[in-house]
Amino acid sequence: MTTTGAASPPPPPPPPPPAASAPGASPWAGLPGQASSLIALAKDAWAEAMTRLDREAGRVGLGTEARSGSVWPVIGFGFLVIALIADRVHSVHDVPVRWLVTLLILGLVVVAGQLRQGGRLPALAALPAVFGSPVLLTSFALLLAAQQLDFLSLGVTQIAWFLALICVVVPLVRDARRPGPPPPPPPTLPAQHVPAQSPTVQSVATQSMTARRQSAPLFGAALVVLAVVIGWLPNQYGPEWFWTVVLLAAAGLAGAAEIAKLPAHRLSLPAPVADAALWVLTALVAGVAVVSARLQVTSVLWLAAAYVLVREAWRRLAAEGGPIPLRSRAGIALAAIGIAVLSLFGTTNSVSSGGYFVGGYTYDPYSYDADSSGFAYNMTEYYEPGLYFEDSGRAEPFAIVFVAGLAAMAGVVRRRRMTNRLRAGAGVVAGGAAIWSLAEGSLSYLSVWVFVTAVAVAAVATVMDRTSTS
């Protein structure tokens, strides 16, 4: 009798035994795979945390990415509160009361501006639009950096200050990385049936947009003049007379150059002056803003002028160069320049001297050395304490020059049209900045080496950029 069903398959063979490890194999053989797994787990955990933060912050209209309001300044304000609490716990307070009150008020204004932009809190809709201005956010970020002159130290307070600064800077960096608007098209010629005296609607719109774009440099130049004038008042920061003359001359030339580009102008400037006036003024004002960052009226004016000019210059360069990936050579160069500028807020030099006894006469009628009047000479009676003070990189001579050079270097990188002449200029700026930092700063401070390393990285990334088109 034959079976009609198919024969059952044979059982699978047993799995082979694991191969014995070779004698003398390194115990770190599987480390690269484990490191990759840990990195993947860290990325997944970070993505999940950002998703949860974005979902929770979305209830009040905030977000971690591009949204009307950013949650990062709010988190930065939280770290600011933690830093101030930790500072109050210490027996020696590093933050004066006026700093504490001013930073809290400015932080509350920035948080209110972000929540107002979110649009989920009707009670904040009546606030003025200036609450959400990036000028306040930029001032808040630079004042945070100015507060922590030794923010590279390790400690609860310093770490909280540093995290507050990083969180506040995040939306500013993302706004700077966005590509700028395309340049306005040239005005079209009027049609044959339209008289030449009456421009078309498109040319009127183009002229209006050009006038608005050119009003930003004029406003920045006006802020520069106002900051210089107020700097002459008592207890206000003002650059030295040489820089005052240079800044006023640069502001005048930049304003005249922008007016000369307007329709129906009557000014005529040489082409090199008209082309370079805005960029020279922007670099100089950026240097003064970094050096003058403190709690004063003139400092806020310099920060506002730097923001207006740098933002307009950055928009023009972005329209010309296109977006910059963060992992590209240009992105690395810009990040290194930012780190170098921030390191100038750290301590780079210090002066100390020991105390000594002056000695003098004291009234001690019971002393064996007392004279007939009862006075005796005591060598250890009067003590003069020693001196100790610190200087940040911003207080060193020629700091404005080198910060302006770094700002110009960032503009060259953002332009994305590298030439051999621009590469040589970037190398000269970087080499001069490194020599200046090593000569003026103390090699015992970490901020000096951070500055030199960041400038070197920026120089190498700039010189190796392969986006040359001319």
Helix H segments across 178-200?
Answer: none
Residues 6+ away with beta carbon under 8 Å from 427: 459, 462, 463
Query: In one letter, which amino acid is 289?
Result: A
Under the phi-then-psi rule, with left for phi > 0, alpha for psi from -120 to 50, and beta for the rest, what region is 350? beta
Tokens of 5: 């069903």
Q: SS3 of 313, please?
A: helix
Tens of pLDDT along the chain (470 residues)? 444 555 566 666 666 655 554 555 454 455 566 667 778 888 888 888 888 888 888 888 888 875 568 888 888 888 888 888 877 776 666 667 777 788 888 889 888 888 888 888 888 888 887 788 777 887 788 777 766 654 445 566 777 877 887 888 788 777 766 655 555 555 454 444 444 444 444 444 444 445 455 578 888 888 888 888 888 887 777 788 888 888 899 888 888 888 777 766 667 778 777 778 888 888 988 888 888 877 677 887 888 888 888 888 888 887 766 677 777 888 888 889 988 988 888 878 877 666 666 666 776 666 666 666 767 777 766 767 666 667 788 888 888 999 999 999 888 888 767 778 888 888 899 999 999 999 888 888 888 899 999 999 999 988 887 654 44
Query: CA of 198: how far to CAs of 184, 260, 264, 266, 368, in Å?
Result: 20, 22, 14, 20, 107
CA distance from start to end of the chain: 92
Under the phi-then-psi rule, with left for phi > 0, alpha for psi from -120 to 50, and beta for the rest, what region is 235? left
Tokens of 91: 């027996």
Residue 436 near residue 311 (C-beta atoms within 8 A): no
User: Using alpha carbons only, how large is the chain's radius of gyration in Å?
Assistant: 31
| Backbone phi, psi, residue 319, to 5° | -65, -25
According to the model, what pLDDT value does residue 149 have? 52
pLDDT tens, position by position, 304-359: 888 888 888 888 887 766 677 777 888 888 889 988 988 888 878 877 666 666 66
Three-state SS for 118-146 is HCCCHHHCCCCHHHHCHHHHHHHHHHHHH
Q: SS3 of 383, please?
A: strand
According to the model, what pLDDT value does residue 206 have? 47
Helix and strand totals (H; E) in the chain: 13, 8
Q: Can you give the length of the chain in residues? A: 470
According to the model, what pLDDT value does residue 455 have? 93
pLDDT tens, position by position, 258-283: 877 776 666 777 877 777 888 888 89
Query: CA of 368: how far to CAs of 155, 359, 374, 377, in Å?
Result: 53, 17, 10, 11
CA nearest neighbour of 220 among 195, 250, 199: 250
What are the strands, taking DSSP E only, across 238-396?
A: 347-352, 356-357, 360-363, 375-378, 383-384, 388-392
According to the model, what pLDDT value does residue 170 have? 81
According to the model, what pLDDT value does residue 241 have? 85
Largest CA distance in the chain: 146
Find the helix packing angle between 271-291 and 241-260, rounded to 10°. Answer: 140
Residues 6+ away with beta carbon under 8 Å from 394: 290, 291, 293, 344, 345
Residues 6+ away with beta carbon under 8 Å from 417: 320, 321, 467, 468, 469, 470
Tokens of 252: 């005048």
Residue 440 near residue 349 (C-beta atoms within 8 A): yes
Predicted model pTM? 0.62
Q: What span, in angstroms and rounded, lies between the C-alpha atoms of 417 and 437?
A: 29
